[in-house]
Amino acid sequence: MKRQLVFRFTAIIILALLTFSLGSVFLVQNALADITEKSLRNYLTVVDHTYTESGDMDAVLDAYDGIDEDLRITFVDATGVVLADSALLSSENHLNRPEFIEPGTVATRYSDTLGKRMMYLAEVLPDGSYLRVAIPLSSVNPFLTDFIFLTIVVGLFIVGFSFVFVKLTADRTLRPLRETVESLKSIPDGRYVDRLPIESTDEMNQLTNEINEIAKMIATNVRLLSVEKRKLDFILDHMDQGLCILDTFGRITLVNRFIKDLLGFNDAENLNRDYLYLFRDETIQAGIRDALEKGVGMNGTFAADNRHYAVTIVKNPDDGNGTESVLLIFTDITKERELEILKRDFFVNASHELKSPLTSIIGASELIAANMTKSPAETIDLAQRIIQEAHRMNNLVGDMLDLSKYEQGGITKNATTLDLSDVVREAAFALEPIALERDIKIETKLVSALFVADHEHMTQLVRNLVDNAIKYGVEHGHVRITLRKLDAGIELVVADDGIGIPKADQARVFERFYRVDKARSKKTGGTGLGLAIVKHIVLAYQGKIALESELGKGTKITIHFPS
């Protein structure tokens, strides 16, 4: 802008100077012509007076020969023949020359005789002859040339001075605006600062001050929008749902972190590209097409990387500005699907597990009710079987309720600081009678280990592990319980020298109702839920559980709780 102003103002000054110079040269030239004409008329008057007094043409020529060498005097008779000439005699007839055709009128033309432009003036003498005087225009040209040269020099000086002056003035005038423009450039980056105050209060500074005020408001709004955008980005990126927005042409305009992680989205490669580059599932593609073309929404499912997602596709109607868009929402329903499967399997397994004791109870009850027992001893035996199966059902229902609660995230922790060694001792003492029935010795190697947990949870965990070790141990064997404090936490190990677990079954022992030896489990009254409950309690306290087992040599389960 400054360059344009400088060049334009300089061009205006040059044009003005050129106009002034041409006008001045024209006026000076006319003034010199007038002066020359007056001089020529004076010469004519003086020469005429001299000739009238002397009557001798040659004497007149001699008299003026030394006065002005540029002055030419010519006498021509009435027929146009040159009688005398201070320059060169000419044989041509002169009556056809302008100055002789109109005596008393100045004529300017090129003289073939002298080879230069001349100014002529003639008059008729009393005897009918003509007296003519002439001076060359070259006598006037040096002054005009000097004037033109001086005009050019002065003009160049004025142009140079004006250029510098205009440049400095433009710099000073545009500096506030330039500083404001530089400040405006920083608005998108949020780095806007007020330009320095200007002392003058001319119109330009008033303009820049107004721009500056507007810019401050814009900068404030930009900062607010930036903050809101960061908030929105934060919310979108931390949503537990996937969000994708397409424009009216099906181009991807926005995705959140969920979608980026799910589909490997790259902003640089996929933003503003067609949705087909991102969504390869035919059901989703069809839903998007219906939304774009028909405005029809869709609710469906989508599977990727062994996870399941609920997909909702809706079209946002035109808001009057032609900004229709399609919104896609992805919700991870993997956990819900897994819970549905778990619930279904749970009921199937529970029905199967309850059917056996119920069948046994019904059968024994019918025999007693029909008085079909052979002896009182057999009746007592059937009654004891009913009681045993009822206890088994009670244990099974209790374990099922606990496991169902744990699997649905319903573990309520009444946490207190407790010593796990005390919990282990209590569990070992409570289960010792069962161990003695099979001549199994419970050995403990414990250290004091304080841990913040629910006493009931820890008791259930230890009892299930020890009870499981007793049930699957061998008679006259051992169950070893070790509790250690480590730098990274607390380690609890329960080992037996029982039947062991085959390699093929080790990955499934923590599943519900899974039994390695179903006959032994039924005989010992196991529910098949003990280790599943243990796993959920360990996970609830951010712990880890590991199993080591060798067929025929025993099993060791290690639990690690973090500090």
Per-residue pLDDT for 467 more than 60?
yes
- Comparing CA positions, the residue from 531, 554, 551 lying closest to residue 474 is 554
Count of CB atoms situated within 10 Å of the CB of 158: 16
- Give the CATH number of domain 338-407: 1.10.287.130
Tens-place pLDDT, residues 470-506: 988 888 899 999 999 998 899 999 999 988 888 878 8
| Domain chopping of the chain, boundaries | 2-146, 239-330, 338-407, 416-562
Model pLDDT, residue 559 = 94
Q: Would residue 128 be called left, alpha or beta, if left means φ above 0 and alpha means ψ between -120 and 50 degrees?
A: left
Place of tokens 């009822």: 390
- Comparing CA positions, the residue from 479, 543, 534 lying closest to residue 509 is 534
Cα→Cα distances 311→68, 239, 332, 525, Å: 115, 15, 9, 46
Q: Would residue 446 be called left, alpha or beta, if left means φ above 0 and alpha means ψ between -120 and 50 degrees?
A: beta
Q: Under CATH, what is the fold of the domain 239-330? A: Beta-Lactamase (3.30.450)
Model pLDDT, residue 116 = 80
Model pLDDT, residue 318 = 65
Round to whole Å and give the CA distance between 379 and 383. Answer: 6
Helix or strand run (H / E) with residue 109: strand 107-111
DSSP 195: P
Tens-place pLDDT, residues 520-547: 445 544 566 778 888 888 988 889 999 9
Round to whole Å and give the CA distance between 465 and 444. Answer: 14
Superfamily (CATH H level) for 416-562 = Histidine kinase-like ATPase, C-terminal domain (3.30.565.10)
Round to whole Å and give the CA distance between 105 and 432. Answer: 156
Q: How confident is the prediction for the chain on average, in pLDDT? A: 80
Question: Does residue 63 contact residue 89 with C-beta atoms inside 8 Å?
Answer: no
Q: Where are the beta strands (DSSP E) in 147-248?
A: 241-247
Model pLDDT, residue 358 = 79
Fold match flag (2-146 vs 239-330): yes
- For 131, phi then psi, to 5°, come to -115, 130
- Give the CATH number of domain 2-146: 3.30.450.20
Q: Which tokens hold the place of 107?
A: 């004529």
pTM beyond 0.75, yes or no:
no
Percentage of the chain modeled with pLDDT above 70: 81
Q: Which tokens hold the place of 258?
A: 């969920």
Round to whole Å and give the CA distance between 247 and 203. Answer: 46
Angle, vertex CA 220, rays to CA 219 and CA 221, nearest 5: 90
Question: Does residue 100 contact residue 122 with C-beta atoms inside 8 Å?
Answer: yes
Three-state SS for 181? helix
Place of tokens 């802008």: 1
